[in-house]
Structure 1
Amino acid sequence: MKKVFFALVVILFAKFNAQGWKTDEQYIQKFALYAVEEMEKYKIPASITLAQGLLETGGGQSRLAQQGNNHFGIKCKEDWTGKTMKHTDDAPNECFRVYDDPRDSYEDHSKFLAYRKFYVNLFKLDMMDYKAWAHGLKKAGYATNPKYAYILIDKIEKNKLYEFDRTNSKEVLYAVLKMYPNLKNDDIFMARLDQSQVKSKPVTIKVPYEQISYTDQKKKVEKLVSTAESLNAILIKSHPNGGKKFVIIPNDIALAAISKKFQITESALMKWNELDGNELRRNDILFLENKSNKGNVATYSAQAAESMHDISQKFGVKLNKLYSKNRMDYGQQPKVGQLIYLQSKKPRK
């Protein structure tokens, strides 16, 4: 999902790396993508994340941001095992986290909110209600400044950051260009995202908040994030055998997640793919419609450890038809090198 788009962003924003960030506008143009990506994964409003980043870094000018890629002033805490730096904040020479890339800082900020029980109630709020989130952060003890919520709201409204709550990571450049129409083609935004490349809507997840340990909570959230990223990576393909629609599963995933993504019932997917379980494995072929009665080639030589179901999926042929054509009992498996008939029935001896 992200490879092509991220390459675009690297090119588009490279100019900022050389000159630094002098205004809030430049900070927003550079880091809006990261905030929107985090919103898709953790359901934290992008407007809130960007406003906090602006406030904490002074528009990217803070020492923590420039030397430690730390955009949210996150201190080391007991669970941090990465790089650190000393910085005077509430007390002299406090320990702060150091990141290899600002993107890591943005994700760590999301995890900081998602994994801690103090912020559980935030995720019960409407993701479009940035005011409620701002006040919720203050109430949860994120900052000691009594005006913290109002400062965030002011930054959001002054910079129209709420626009990023209504977009997704594939279209965030359009939102930026809409907000800053005076940017020219020969400026940092010299390219446009091709809408034809947008294959599907971004997947959002609901983070669970049971009162469990930090470690278990972290594992649950990371599993959900991994599932969401896997779903975003799936593209529908057309099979050579009749153009039947199918997908290749990028990572181990539950059939229910595929069912929800493509709005097809689990029972239909199980029937069309002759599945006997609800778990899909990496590189599995899954058809999104019924397979054909015969193949697009006449025969095939079975490979080592290849089952009749594997061959059925590879060539898009219904499993029962495949058994019938080869005069085999259902459940019987082919031998290495065995000639499998895909169109007409195997001749009788």
Structure 2
Amino acid sequence: MTRRIALSIFFFTLTLIGFGQRINTREEYIEKYAPLAVSEMIRTGVPASITLAQACLESGDGNSELSVKSNNHFGIKCKSSWRGKRVYHDDDAKGECFRKYRSVEASFVDHSDFLTLNSRYAGLFTLDLTDYKGWARGLKKAGYATNPHYANLLIKIIEDHKLFLYDEGLDKSQIARIQQSNQPVDGRNLINPYQARKVVLRNDLRSIVVKKGDTFQKIAQEFDLKEWEIYAYNDYQKGQQPQENEILYVEPKHRKAKKSHKTHRLESDDTMHFISQRYGVKLKRLYRLNRLKPGERPKVGSFVYLRKKKPRR
């Protein structure tokens, strides 16, 4: 979030007060959307504390003009891959394009998908679910926001409101008791119900992010699979090994992407295999959808079709 967004939140809040519209407090905002953040954590592996802290910061606790008018609670800009509705808002530059959502829930879901499907954030998913400081610093390093203090702002929100508790799998009554307590809580002493390896749903398929030292043999043993299954599920030849921070599936990929992902605009360093892994689509099927021979690559800037066959010229 930039200084300009912070100022716009301030002046828009004054406008709301002037028209008599009720302003959310941070505590109310967290209580309202914590279940949604936890649900997204279970679905994708993005810590609930990070989701809530970003939402508080980017949306001004749901009071910013962008969040009120467009349900955009994370300041996500359109980008080339966005096919939904758009709004234009002054940010780093005048009249920048931002995503518009039908509901706040849709904004939370898109935020999770934005992180899980973007290769620049892949390294975050190798961190422990409870490492909120690592996630906050990783988001800043990956370029989520231009504010040089972005990571520290997120960490302060998480620690001030004990949001790390939502990452620990505690139920609502346990969280409420600790939130109301004046005693400090050491999150490391709480029981972490999650395994060391996070399994994230992509295209409704179970996937992992490769850690340093991982091999196909090791991953196959961990998930009680045959080694050839890991190769087949991820369109690899026998003898190859995965790369650190790469997405791998532990079940067969689908023949098409989710409805929300119809096409992908090819960037300079994208490969067809990368796109296949990013969206959970079989590589051979991806070639057929785009009328390509195996090994061919579309031109940079062109669209790769993910659900329907590319129209003939």
SS at match of 1:86: strand
Instruction: Report if aligned partners of 1:70, 1:99 keep a CA contact under 8 Å in 2.
Output: yes
After superposition, what is the alpha-carbon deviation per residue over 1:282-314, rounded to whole angstroms, capped at 9, x for unaligned? xxxxxxxxxxxxxxxxxxxxxxxxxxxxxxxxx
Match of 1:154 among 135, 146, 156: 156
Instruction: Report if aligned partners of 2:162, 2:179 keep a CA contact under 8 Å in 1.
Output: no
Instruction: Report if aligned partners of 1:34, 1:103 keep a CA contact under 8 Å in 2.
Output: yes
**TM-superposed deviation, 1:126:** 0.8
Structure 1 segment 96-135 matched on structure 2, within 5 A: 96-135=98-137
Match of 2:50 among 48, 51, 72: 48
CA-atom RMSD, angstroms?
2.6
- In the other structure, the counterpart of 1:219 is 280
**TM-superposed deviation, 1:216:** 4.4
Structure 1 segment 1-349 matched on structure 2, within 5 A: 20-167=22-169, 171=171, 173-175=172-174, 177-178=176-177, 205-206=199-200, 207-208=207-208, 209-210=246-247, 212-214=273-275, 216-219=277-280
> Larger Cα Rg: Structure 1 or Structure 2?
1
Aligned length: 182
TM-score (norm 1): 0.48
**TM-superposed deviation, 1:71:** 0.5
**TM-superposed deviation, 1:23:** 1.1
Percent sequence identity over matched residues?
45
Distance 2:163 2:21 in 1: 23
Unaligned runs of 5+ in 1: 1-17, 183-200, 221-349
After superposition, what is the alpha-carbon deviation per residue over 1:84-111, rounded to whole angstroms, capped at 9, x for unaligned? 1111111111111111111111110011
TM-score (norm 2): 0.53
Distance 1:149 1:49 in 2: 13
Unaligned runs of 5+ in 2: 1-19, 182-192, 201-206, 209-245, 248-270, 282-313
Distance 2:21 2:275 in 1: 40
Distance 1:79 1:214 in 2: 13
Would the alpha carbon gap of residues 34 and 19 (structure 1) be closer, same or farther in structure 2, given more than 3 Å must change? farther
**TM-superposed deviation, 1:175:** 4.9
Instruction: Report if aligned partners of 1:87, 1:96 keep a CA contact under 8 Å in 2.
Output: yes
